[in-house]
Amino acid sequence: MHWYVDVIKNYVGFSGRATRTEFWMFVLVNFFIAIFVELIDKFILNGLRVFSTLYNLAVLIPALAVGARRLHDIGKTGWWQLIGIIPVLGWIVLIVYFCTDTQDKENSYGANPKESLQE
């Protein structure tokens, strides 16, 4: 859960790097929270989608930020997220990038985050 909270705390941090674990744990926790909020909307508010819309707007910037940091970790610019606009093919490219391992050395976006975790 701390991965999710760390991303939310760094909600406008588009610089730096994020490990695969940080990114995917955020995605996982975000997915379950989104389902829970959607169920609240469906059963309590009769499908008005008030809470789910507010939640999705609240996590939009942090999700874009952690995505950009994840792409920085593999040496790509955060603007590569725009390829997700292309249906299916763009999504596949992004998933491959998000699953790619960290660059072992320091890159133009900062030091290897795995090294700081091991110390």
Distance CA 19, CA 105 (A): 13
Instruction: Tell me which DSSP letter residue 102 carries.
Output: P
Find the domain containing 96 and state its range.
Answer: 2-118
Of 119 and 43, more confident: 43
Quick one: pLDDT at residue 41? 95
Give the span between the Cα atoms of 6 and 22, in whole angstroms.
9
The pLDDT tens digits of the residues spanning 32-91 come to 999 999 999 999 998 899 999 999 999 999 999 999 999 999 999 999 999 999 999 999
Q: Quote the number of domains for the chain.
A: 1
- pTM for the whole structure: 0.91
Q: Is the pLDDT of residue 110 over 80?
A: yes
Q: Are 51 and 41 in contact (CB under 8 A)?
A: yes
Of 1, 7, 3, the closest CA to residue 66 belongs to: 7
